[in-house]
Amino acid sequence: MLDATRRDDRTGQRTVDRTARRTENRYGNRPTMKDVAARAGVGLKTVSRVVNAEPGVTEDTERRVQEAIAALGFRRNDSARVLRKGRTASIGLVLEDLADPFYGPLSRAVEEVARAHGALLINGSSAEDPEREQELVLALCARRVDGLVVIPAGVDHQYLEPEIAAGVATVFVDRPAGKIDADVVLSDNFGGARGGVAHLIAQGHRRIGFIGDQPRIHTAVERVRGYRAAMEDAGLAVDDRWVSLGATEPERVRRAAEDMLTGPDPVTAIFSGNNRVTVTVIRVLAERERPVALVGFDDIELGDLLKPGVTVVSQDAAQLGRTAADRLFLQLDGAALPPERIELTTRLIQRGSGEIPPSSP
Amino acid sequence: MLDATRRDDRTGQRTVDRTARRTENRYGNRPTMKDVAARAGVGLKTVSRVVNAEPGVTEDTERRVQEAIAALGFRRNDSARVLRKGRTASIGLVLEDLADPFYGPLSRAVEEVARAHGALLINGSSAEDPEREQELVLALCARRVDGLVVIPAGVDHQYLEPEIAAGVATVFVDRPAGKIDADVVLSDNFGGARGGVAHLIAQGHRRIGFIGDQPRIHTAVERVRGYRAAMEDAGLAVDDRWVSLGATEPERVRRAAEDMLTGPDPVTAIFSGNNRVTVTVIRVLAERERPVALVGFDDIELGDLLKPGVTVVSQDAAQLGRTAADRLFLQLDGAALPPERIELTTRLIQRGSGEIPPSSP
DNA sequence: ATGAAAGCGCTAACAG
DNA sequence: CTGTTAGCGCTTTCAT
């Protein structure tokens, strides 16, 4: 790498212009503070003072140093700085998949908080794989991020204990951590689902289906629990064929929906457990003649423009991220807070699909 | 920070259990290779060998070192490693806004390529602010990322010249760089827009509006150019009132759409310049009685389920990211490639809204 | 106001 | 197979 540049340096020995001469080192031949100091005719520490805007440098010296910096194209090496200072001014965010419209806004919100605290955000996708989650988290710890926001894929986070003990601030979001005591910021998944299902019951539905994510995911479990609670509150029995938990792949969701919509005692309404599921269920229902009611967990874009509009239990992804990040920096700012569980409320948004009355089979 | 832990260390002097004793240092008191070496009764370099899975260590020694590592909760400090090795095994991605559904998949695609190369991805949002873009890029350079994928917000990237000369691999995506010669991966914005507008013309439309992003954004300019080319190809004049470039805020887009839909010579079709614009235009059209045709640049989720379905010129965000990242690692793997411009084709997807015939005013 | 020396934790280069 | 030494580029400490 960079051979071309090096060759230039060697051939045209006096090309002090674009590729100013300098000692050979790694990083593709970058000037260091030492180089700047030599060029400006000052001590190393003086350069450091200028670069970090520390006091105690005459205007004249400062100017000479700045000139040398510009001429050489110097840029401070933060790796060295971090090694000395012990703080990286960066935090990590491990989530499931940045391509999911739920996580984009969450990540952006965390980034904004980090930015306000002068920190950079490094985020990684676990792809819902516990091993990959751990791998990512530990890689971030090796880079000595100051703090960590984690949307857990796995259920056991004991591997984080030494890191937390060593001072890595940690907050879990969206799902609680497993086997470890730590801050966690959640939506009220149970209450939200319960309310959504109760809404369907209030419309007169008695046979209601639930299609959700895999049962090893906390939110899926909480939401199905909310569904069962609402049914029980209303004195309604739940047929096993009405409940389906599993991967959110369109094929599986489609099959699950079609199964509960046919045969004896078909459901007249469906509660879908997250945005991915909702999208597929909408497609299935659009193909059918008899109207079926639908309430989905998570809002979806353009949900208001479909016919009928999609009634949803909405959670605020950005607020989730913001709250977690705020909490993280509270920890980083030295507050010795006992681990806390923060729960954000959800909101039922009626748009039509959830207000469809039951139709006789 | 970490006072609690420290106090534990000092009080219970022999708590060799969870918080094993060790020398005081920064990073919230983390053990170093030296500590591990001392505990295992071996030399520092042997620990390094074990940690990096280098050959030349007996099974027995390795076991002892591993035990010490586990007992102390040692984790290699990558800052020090980077300082020594000169490579950070990380790349940076600067984009506009991670919360935009266009950039999520792009970022995820870059991440996957990085991961395949053993690198971590750090991404930052410029919020379409040139200053913030530069700030972010330079922060990433200070952290010595090996490479940079940039979706430019600004139009002048000369500030990157010293960095690139110093060996930071760089690829621009979605928009070309300004005043600097570098790799760039683009969609065929001109051709895509031209094709989309030609499609509307083929349906019989003669008065077609264009609503796009701000004219300082390259893609916006290219797409409006494509629009004008298609109109000219068909020998159609373009009324100034039919073309609107500006912020993608719903309010502005709504006003623009309503303006060109009313008054004398109202448009019978609209070409919307990106996903944000499309969403708002859909809302405006949904409120109107007379059907108006619509083709949008960028695909949008659930666009097929709306009535009518939304006809779009689709570009593949993930493919854009993948191509750019591949190119970046090609550079990093030492290929001395001359800067190239790679253009990806777009695809017209007919779903109904673009096939609406013109209606008489 | 300025600088020299020490050292952060690690790896490269060389001994043994 | 194993250990010792030097030094990556910076900040800290302490002289001057």
CATH of the domain at B160: 3.40.50.2300
- A11: Cβ contacts below 8 Å, ≥ 6 apart: none
Question: Chain A: nearest CA to B204, how far in angstroms?
Answer: 27
Which of B101, B96, B107 lies closest to B324, judged by CA? Answer: B107
Measure A32 CA to C2 C1' (Å): 19
Tokens 């890191």 -> residue: A163
Measure B7 CA to D16 C1' (Å): 39
Residues B115, B73: one domain? no
Count of other CB atoms within 10 angstroms of residue B61 = 18
User: If you measure CA to CA, which chain B residue comes closest to A102?
Assistant: B99
Q: What percent of chain A has pLDDT over 90?
A: 85
Asked whether residue B203 carries a pLDDT value surpassing 50, the answer given is yes
Q: What SS3 class is residue A98?
A: coil
Lookup: nucleotide whose C1' is closest to B52 CA: C11
Q: Is B212 exposed, middle or buried (0-12, 13-18, 19+ CB in 10 A)?
A: buried
Q: In this structure, are residues A39 and A68 in contact, taking their beta carbons and an 8 Å threshold?
A: yes
Asked whether residue A284 carries a pLDDT value surpassing 80, the answer given is yes
- Evaluate if the CB of A83 falls below 7 Å from strand C: yes
A301/B99 CB distance under 8 A = no
**Sign of the C-alpha dihedral, residues B13, B14, B16, B22?**
positive
Look at residue B9 and tell me if it is in a domain.
no
Look at residue B8 and tell me if it is in a domain.
no
- Convert the pLDDT of each residue in B229-248 to its tens digit: 999 999 999 999 999 999 99
Across the interface, which of A73, A79, A85 has its CB nearest the CB of B82? A79
Measure B23 CA to D5 C1' (Å): 22
Q: H helices of B41-184, where? A: 44-51, 59-72, 78-85, 103-116, 130-142, 161-165
Question: DSSP character for A33?
Answer: H
Asked whether residue A27 carries a pLDDT value surpassing 60, the answer given is no
* Angle B218-B219-B220 from CA coordinates, rounded to 5°: 90
Measure A76 CA to D1 C1' (Å): 40
Measure B85 CA to D6 C1' (Å): 15
Where is pLDDT greater, at B138 or B17?
Answer: B138
Residues B201, B281: one domain? yes
Band (B199; pLDDT cuts 50, 70, 90): very high
Distance separating alpha carbons of residues B192 and A360, to the nearest angstrom: 48
* A146 alpha carbon, distance to own chain's centre: 17
| Protein residue with the closest CA to the C1' atom of nucleotide D7 | B84
Look at residue A151 and tell me if it is in a domain.
yes
Count of other CB atoms within 10 angstroms of residue A291 = 15
User: If you measure CA to CA, which chain A residue comes closest to B73?
Assistant: A162
Q: In chain C, which nucleotides are within 7 Å of a protein Cβ?
A: 1-5, 7-13
Per-residue tokens: A43? 């001590």
Asked whether residue B24 carries a pLDDT value surpassing 50, the answer given is no
- Evaluate if the CB of A44 falls below 7 Å from strand C: yes
- Average pLDDT over chain B reads 89
Residues B296, B335: one domain? no
Residues A201, A262: one domain? yes
| Contact with chain A for residue B33, Cβ under 8 A | no
Residues B172, B232: one domain? no
Domain of residue B53, CATH code? 1.10.260.40
- Evaluate if the CB of B32 falls below 7 Å from strand C: yes
| Contact with chain B for residue A45, Cβ under 8 A | no
* Angle A271-A253-B299 from CA coordinates, rounded to 5°: 95
Measure A120 CA to C14 C1' (Å): 39
Which of B315, B313, B314, B310 lies closest to B351, judged by CA? Answer: B310
- Convert the pLDDT of each residue in A124-134 to its tens digit: 999 999 999 99
- Give residue A13's pLDDT: 27
Across the interface, which of B26, B104, B138 has its CB nearest the CB of A86? B26
Look at residue B4 and tell me if it is in a domain.
no
Residue B180 sits in which domain range? 88-187+318-343
Where is pLDDT greater, at B360 or A132?
Answer: A132
- Evaluate if the CB of B82 falls below 7 Å from strand C: no
Where is pLDDT greater, at B321 or B57?
Answer: B321
Question: Chain B: nearest CA to A2, how far in angstroms?
Answer: 6
**Sign of the C-alpha dihedral, residues A207, A212, A216, A222?**
negative
| Contact with chain A for residue B158, Cβ under 8 A | no
User: If you measure CA to CA, which chain B residue comes closest to A284?
Assistant: B305
A26/B279 CB distance under 8 A = no
Tokens 């919230």 -> residue: B28
Exposure of A342 in the CB half-sphere (CA atoms within 13 A): 20
Look at residue A217 and tell me if it is in a domain.
yes
Band (A337; pLDDT cuts 50, 70, 90): confident
- Give residue A28's pLDDT: 57
| Contact with chain A for residue B239, Cβ under 8 A | no
Distance separating alpha carbons of residues A8 and A152, to the nearest angstrom: 50
Q: What SS3 class is residue A124?
A: strand
Look at residue A53 and tell me if it is in a domain.
yes
Residues A197, A309: one domain? yes
**Helical (H) or strand (E) element with A16:** none
Distance separating alpha carbons of residues B347 and B227, to the nearest angstrom: 16
| Domain final residue pick, B30, B47, B77 | B77
Strand pairing partners for B94?
A: B124, B150
- Give residue B55's pLDDT: 87
DSSP structure string for A227-250: HHHHHHHTT----GGGEEES---H
A103/B104 CB distance under 8 A = yes
Lookup: nucleotide whose C1' is closest to A37 CA: C3
Average pLDDT over residues B302-322: 95
Residues A279, A351: one domain? yes
- Average pLDDT over chain A reads 90
| Domain final residue pick, B43, B77, B111 | B77
User: Any idea which of A17-31, A303-317, B113-127 has the lowest mean pLDDT?
Assistant: A17-31
Asked whether residue B184 carries a pLDDT value surpassing 80, the answer given is yes
Residues A63, A118: one domain? no
Lookup: nucleotide whose C1' is closest to A74 CA: D9
How many structural domains compose chain B? 3
Residues A218, A322: one domain? no
Task: Select from A75, A180, A280 the residue whose CB has the most chain B CBs within 10 Å, as the one to mutate to test that interface.
Answer: A75
- Residues of B in Cβ contact (< 8 Å) with A105: 98-99
- Convert the pLDDT of each residue in B132-166 to its tens digit: 999 999 999 999 999 999 999 999 999 999 999 88
User: If you measure CA to CA, which chain A residue comes closest to B30?
Assistant: A166
- Residues of A in Cβ contact (< 8 Å) with B69: none
Distance separating alpha carbons of residues B158 and B178, to the nearest angstrom: 8
**Sign of the C-alpha dihedral, residues A87, A93, A98, A103?**
negative
Look at residue B5 and tell me if it is in a domain.
no
Asked whether residue B21 carries a pLDDT value surpassing 80, the answer given is no
Q: In this structure, are residues B219 and B172 in contact, taking their beta carbons and an 8 Å threshold?
A: no
Asked whether residue A24 carries a pLDDT value surpassing 50, the answer given is no
Per-residue tokens: B1? 């920070």
Tokens 């530069």 -> residue: B134
Residues B264, B339: one domain? no
- Give residue A360's pLDDT: 60
Task: Return the amino acid letter for A167.
Answer: G
| Contact with chain A for residue B305, Cβ under 8 A | yes
- Convert the pLDDT of each residue in A36-93 to its tens digit: 999 999 999 999 999 999 988 999 999 999 999 999 999 999 999 999 998 899 999 9
What is the SS3 string spanning B130-157? HHHHHHHHHHHHHCCCCEEEECCCCCCC
Count of other CB atoms within 10 angstroms of residue A3 = 9
Count of other CB atoms within 10 angstroms of residue A137 = 25
Residues A22, A128: one domain? no
Look at residue B82 and tell me if it is in a domain.
no
| Contact with chain A for residue B134, Cβ under 8 A | no
Asked whether residue A167 carries a pLDDT value surpassing 70, the answer given is yes
Question: DSSP character for A1?
Answer: -
Question: Chain B: nearest CA to A235, how far in angstroms?
Answer: 36
Residues A244, A155: one domain? no
| Domain final residue pick, A48, A77, A106 | A77
Q: What percent of chain A has pLDDT over 70?
A: 92
Asked whether residue A349 carries a pLDDT value surpassing 50, the answer given is yes
Measure A77 CA to D5 C1' (Å): 25
